[in-house]
Structure 1
Amino acid sequence: MKPLRTLALVTLLAFSVACSRSAPAPTRPTPSSLTGKIGAATYAIEVPSGWNGTLFLYSHGYVAPGSANGAQAAPSGDARTWLLGHHFAIAGSSYSSTGWALEDAFKDQIALLDFFGSHLGKPRRVIAWGASLGGIVTAGLVQLHPGRFAAAMPLCGVLAGGIATWNAELDAAYAFKTLLAPGSALQLVHISDPDANRQLAGQLLNAAAATPQGKARLALVAAIIDLPGWFDPRLPEPAETEYAARVLAQIDWESRVDFNFAFGYRKEVEQRAGGNPSWNQGVDYGGLLAGSPDRPEVQALYSQAGLNLQTDVRALNAGATIKAEPTAAAYLDRFISFDGGLGVPVLSMHTTGDGLVIPPNETAYAQVVGVAGRQELLRQVFVHRAGHCTFTTAETIAAVQVLLQRLDTGRWDDAALEPAMLNATALAQGATANQFFGFALNPSFVTFKPPAYPRPFAKGSPIPT
């Protein structure tokens, strides 16, 4: 979900011509910078002087439906400078559409890779990488086209896959309406007017957040989908028992970020899929709460508010009757769920306080990779920070260097993946690289094990009918 500057700033502060042609050549003695269009998608390509033969193919994140959608060849200007300065080529497509654009993204990124090879020379190796929605695109590219890539690096990626992600959004929306606005006109699926639906959700949330009872129920909504109780990356994480601070952070995630998807952007997904791809029929919401690390917070806030938690859980279970339309769910399974059958090394990176693409996405991905017996190809690292994709350039470069070492040597250097080593590597990049949107941040790699994804879905799993 593109770390557009607008979305990244929200995350940070309350929380982003015709084709130029040249003759094919195996190397570029002078720098090349190309922009243009392939079909409906724009692209950006940069090849440095003395190109070393490696291409980083970048997949950008979510762009809200109808918003400006430019090509992006790197996650930041500083990352671009580092890659070009170390003689790596970079490229990226805008994709032909906005929203949940995975179908277009897969097609357009492969078309760009073909274009690069025919106009600038075939790369010696291609590394797929991308952030947020670009993380699921990255993992999807190496699942669908493993022979085209040498490695992959999904950043803050939606690695639980499309069905699991939109089921979680439905769970949050359903719990919110059932507990806090049962008589409202709020639409959970088949949304007719996304802007009006989002506005109504915001009004209802603001009213709920003004009372202890509303806050307790908003904490339950958050716990069902494992929203972190940490929002601002400039501030330290509230302690596990600082329930008042943690629920305010969860409300920030709900109001400023997540409800845009649950109550608004879902319409665009339904249009692509040809119907509602999500379901909650038969879901045990008590079981989801029991598996959430936020359960003690919910229990404490319910007690303080004088509410009966089990009564609310029973109400959620009793009304869980929403069914997916099979063809729509099949579309979201194609674009995309994961089978774990890795054919190339993958290094993923996630912040521990991400409330848009929750850290359990990494658990879901590791689980399917393990079931497929390909766990040796996967490594996952975490940065202790609030926010979605709030990595510094230095942290990103530190991870890139480990992945490059894996390609050069044929094995993972697990010592280099230890948090202390990654932090030292990041710190060595200097003060400018250790910033996010102008705020100085210390390198913060940490040992972390996310909980299980609330409702995972592996490719090939049955879709209820």
Structure 2
Amino acid sequence: MKSFPSLRLAAVAGAVLLASCGGGDDDAPAPEETRAQDSRTFTATPATTFAAMPPLAGASQTDIDTLNGTSRWAGVLNGAAYRVEVPANWNGRLVMYAHGYAGTGAALGVNPPSIRRHLIMNGYAWAASSYTKNYYDVRAGVEDTNALALEFNRIAQANSRPLPAPTKLYITGHSMGGHITAAAIEDEAFATARNKVRYHGAVPMCGVTGDTVLFDTFAAMQVSALAVAGIPNYPFTRWSEVSGLVTGTLFQTFPTPAAPTTPITTTAVAGARYASIVENLTGGPRPLFAQGLQFGGSFPSAYGTFGGDGTVNGILNRPGIDTNAFTYTITGDATTSAAINAAAQKVTADPEANRLRRDGLRWIPKVNGEFRIPVVAIHTLGDLFVPFNMLQVYAQRTAARGNSQYLVTRAIRGASHCDFTIAEQVQAFSDMVAWEAGGARPAGDDVLTPATVAAPTYGCTFTNNTRGQDESGTVNALRPAIVAQVPCP
């Protein structure tokens, strides 16, 4: 694969230098400002190992021995808990796994990759960090995942299994971990991170690959809800005062929009309008949007973010959300769409909220599309918490940087957030590895052509509804209904 062009890296590094020095050669860098996140404390529980993966029903003795015969090491690195697993027949490749949002509690936890069984059975080692901080701290996620990758050989040595340096280093993750995955491979991250790692391939899954556009999208959902409900100028941060009124106006039984009746009620009309706006904000007309809203369960999480101050719970010091780039579209109703766009309030970000830092990565690391390694990114169509538009933003930015040849995007017919089958995830990872090893660029889905995305069969190509023993509870609960309601041919 091509290496990072030195001129591009020099430009990013130069921007960081200017930001840190104020433009004068004799100026001493001022200390960086602190934020709420910097004063929060978190605790990692020490451990030395963890359980082997249970065998599948009817597994052969060879498979059981493979699962039980791995080296499993756990510990704490610079305040972050970690787990590392290396098969006896290690193939020399290391997969870093980045977990998703873990809430705002003080306890730090480590999650294994969902494709753990596939990795072990095929000779891959994997490692995962808890990160040193909870909240939406992608900066900590990138740094701590990179730090663990750099520590891999020392951990092995300390556990009496000296190993050679990995021949290949891959990264994958879900949700916020998908943001970490995508950010970690960017030129800007390599130029500004304190722990620098060059990855050979990546698989972001249901990831926030549009970085701060996710929070902009939530804000656009909120201001359009206020406009459709008839109170467009109600103060943005005082949502809690009118949330009951707005919800009652737009929804019959939240989160399902009020159904048309005879005669058609005002609530039914408002609900249908708002549902159409949300559909268009989150990726446009597409299969599985209706199921995502009706029973996918992810929309309430998005709705629950309304009324924030734009700092992402103290990750930023200034409001960083912006709705100025959004257009609110009610499909088939240009007149009402125009009225909503005229009425909806504009929220503007402070330009300094997420600037380049002098002490490492941005507080919310950027995904600019500046990478030159194989990336296979997958996203479910019905996800309304980290919506499908995140994959579209990723594709647009990557194309704008001239790097589309390194990105494959795939749409999966799931109705919720990250509800992929194991088979879908394994296929994405295996295809990325084969590509990185010199194989042909794998097939993907066009995520940017509206007519393609709106086709009834969209997402069928890479959807695999076969379920196995390791599926999540969400997949087991939702896939049967999806297959019954919107089957692929």
Q: Same fold (TM over 0.5)?
A: yes
Contact 2:291 2:415 in 1 (8 A): no
Q: 1:309 to 1:410 in 2, by over 3 A?
A: closer
Alignment size in residue pairs? 378
**Secondary structure of the corresponding residue to residue 72 of structure 1:** coil
Contact 1:65 1:268 in 2 (8 A): no
Q: 1:213 to 1:394 in 2, by over 3 A?
A: same
Deviations 1:346-402 (A, max 9, x none): 111111222122222222212222222222211112212211111001111122211
1:12 aligned partner:
none
- Does residue 85 (structure 1) correspond to residue 114 (structure 2)? The answer is no
Counting only pairs closer than 5 Å after superposition, residues 157-306 of structure 1 correspond to structure 2 as 157-162=207-212, 164-180=213-229, 182=231, 187-188=236-237, 201=243, 204-210=246-252, 211-219=267-275, 221-223=277-279, 225-226=281-282, 237=288, 249=294, 253-254=298-299, 256-263=300-307, 269=312, 271-280=314-323, 283=324, 288-290=327-329, 295-296=331-332, 299=333
Aligned CA-pair RMSD: 3.9
1:150 to partner: Cα distance? 1.0
1:38 to partner: Cα distance? 1.6
Contact 1:270 1:276 in 2 (8 A): no
Contact 1:349 1:380 in 2 (8 A): yes
Contact 2:91 2:123 in 1 (8 A): yes
Larger radius of gyration: 2
Q: 1:67 to 1:206 in 2, by over 3 A?
A: farther
Deviations 1:17-61 (A, max 9, x none): 54759xxxxxxx962212221223211111111111111101111
2:104 aligned partner:
65
**Secondary structure of the corresponding residue to residue 204 of structure 2:** strand
Return the match for 1:311 from 322, 339, 364: 339
**Secondary structure of the corresponding residue to residue 313 of structure 1:** helix
Q: 1:204 to 1:359 in 2, by over 3 A?
A: same
Counting only pairs closer than 5 Å after superposition, residues 3-22 of structure 1 correspond to structure 2 as 17-18=45-46, 20=48
Look up the equivalent residue of 2:148 and give its one-letter code.
Answer: L
Distance 1:415 1:251 in 2: 24
1:414 to partner: Cα distance? 4.0
1:100 aligned partner:
136
Q: 1:431 to 1:103 in 2, by over 3 A?
A: closer
| TM-score normalised by the chain length of structure 1 | 0.70
1:148 aligned partner:
198
Distance 1:224 1:416 in 2: 19
- Does residue 123 (structure 1) correspond to residue 159 (structure 2)? The answer is no
Look up the equivalent residue of 1:32 and give its one-letter code.
Answer: S
1:329 to partner: Cα distance? 3.5
**Secondary structure of the corresponding residue to residue 376 of structure 1:** helix
Contact 1:227 1:358 in 2 (8 A): yes
Distance 1:415 1:116 in 2: 33
Contact 1:180 1:217 in 2 (8 A): no
Q: 1:86 to 1:430 in 2, by over 3 A?
A: farther
1:4 aligned partner:
none
Contact 2:296 2:415 in 1 (8 A): no
2:409 aligned partner:
380
**Structure 1 unmatched ranges of 5 or more:** 1-16, 22-28, 192-196, 231-235, 239-244, 303-307, 449-465
Q: 1:98 to 1:267 in 2, by over 3 A?
A: farther
1:394 aligned partner:
423
Distance 1:203 1:385 in 2: 31
Q: 1:434 to 1:327 in 2, by over 3 A?
A: closer
- Higher mean alpha-carbon deviation, 388-397 vs 266-275, is at 266-275
Counting only pairs closer than 5 Å after superposition, residues 402-413 of structure 1 correspond to structure 2 as 402-413=431-442
1:410 to partner: Cα distance? 4.7
Paired-residue identity, %: 21
- Higher mean alpha-carbon deviation, 327-336 vs 125-134, is at 327-336
1:349 aligned partner:
378
Look up the equivalent residue of 1:314 and give its one-letter code.
Answer: A
1:229 to partner: Cα distance? 7.7
1:315 to partner: Cα distance? 1.2
Distance 1:161 1:273 in 2: 13
Return the match for 2:369 from 340, 357, 368: 340
Distance 2:292 2:270 in 1: 11
**Secondary structure of the corresponding residue to residue 352 of structure 2:** helix
Contact 1:35 1:42 in 2 (8 A): yes
2:17 aligned partner:
none
Contact 2:297 2:416 in 1 (8 A): no
2:261 aligned partner:
none
Return the match for 1:370 from 399, 404, 408: 399
2:77 aligned partner:
38
Distance 1:201 1:168 in 2: 18
Contact 1:349 1:381 in 2 (8 A): yes
**Structure 2 unmatched ranges of 5 or more:** 1-44, 50-67, 157-162, 191-195, 253-266, 447-457
2:150 aligned partner:
114
Q: 1:358 to 1:150 in 2, by over 3 A?
A: same
1:460 aligned partner:
none
Distance 1:268 1:415 in 2: 35
Distance 2:460 2:274 in 1: 37
